[in-house]
Structure formats: structure tokens, C-alpha cells
Amino acid sequence: MRIFTPLTRAALLGISIVCMPIAGCTTNIHDNTVEVKDPKVSFETNVDVNNVSPGETMAIRVTVQNIFLVDPDDKPPSLHLEDAGHFQLYLDDLNSEPLVVTAQTMIDVKVPEDIEAGKHKLYCRVHKHDGAPTSAVFEIEFTVKVEVPTG
């Protein structure tokens, strides 16, 4: 029969207090869905949105809440598997190919050279690290003006 001294009992209690929370923070490998809880995104530009030219670069500053930004090509830290994500920026249609995919908060977005004159929208959507879109979308409306050469 093994006798535990008060010191041994204290050590075992300390180990169980430290190890129990760690064991409770494991990843469920059977449910591979990642849920980003209540992501929020907004962005702004200092470009005159009423007078954008084809080929112009729009400097965008993105602000995000409840997301741990991770480059899409990098692996998120284990503590941020649930809230890791990045941005995808789209022109006019969220179902089109993104113009930019990044985790940066300062983004230069080049307006396509072949864009038509008129009103357009630039969408910024948060995507989970696995690439799945979230409901966090922000948009900036802008007008492209094409100069017609005279003469």
C-alpha cells in the first residue's frame, strides 16, 4: 500500500489543477469546422471616390474586430484556430475572383485598367483561415471617370 504524504498530495493537486484546463482546450478533430464568432470589418480610403481612374491604386485601411489575422499561406497559432482569418477584396461582385487576398490592414488595390466608367463597389469580406467566407462584409462605392482624349 502506497502512502501519500501531505507534500505528495499537494503536488498531485497542483498538477491536476494545471493539467485539467489544458486538457479541456483540445481541438475536436472530428468536427473540422472553424467558426469565427461575430467578425466585424470596416475600411476606408483617402482616394476621391467620386473621381477614380482606370489603373489607379486605391490605398485601403481595414479595421477588424474579433479576428486574428493570419496570412492565408501561413498556419495560425494553436490558440487562434477558432478566430483566424484574412480579407478578400472584390470588385462589384462577391462571387467574382478576388482582387486581393491578404491579412494586411493597409492594402493597395489597383483598379483594373479595363474597368468601365460609372459606379462600382469594392467589397471587403472576412474569410476564415480555411477560405470559407463569413458574413462580415463592408463595401465602398466609387465612381470611375474615364477621360476621353480630345482632338
- Per-residue model confidence (pLDDT) at position 29: 34
- Per-residue model confidence (pLDDT) at position 13: 47
Report the CATH fold assignment for 40-144.
Immunoglobulin-like (2.60.40)
DSSP string, 9-74: HHHHHHHHHHHHHHHTT---TT-------S-EEEEEE-S-TTSBPTTPEEEEEEEEES-EE--TTS
- Per-residue model confidence (pLDDT) at position 148: 67
DSSP 8-state class, residue 80: G
Where along the chain do its domains lie?
40-144
- Per-residue model confidence (pLDDT) at position 19: 42
- Per-residue model confidence (pLDDT) at position 65: 84
- Per-residue model confidence (pLDDT) at position 66: 87
Burial of 51 (0-12, 13-18, 19+ CB in 10 A): exposed
Instruction: List Cβ neighbours of 143 (8 Å cut-off, separation of 6 or more).
Output: 49, 50, 51, 52, 118, 119, 120
* Separation of alpha carbons 133 and 39, rounded Å: 11
- Per-residue model confidence (pLDDT) at position 5: 55
Tens place of pLDDT per residue across the chain (151 aa): 445 455 445 444 444 444 444 433 333 333 334 455 666 667 788 889 999 999 999 999 988 888 899 999 999 999 998 899 999 999 999 999 999 999 999 999 999 999 999 999 999 999 999 999 998 899 999 999 987 666 5
Backbone angles phi, psi at 17, to 5 degrees: -65, -40
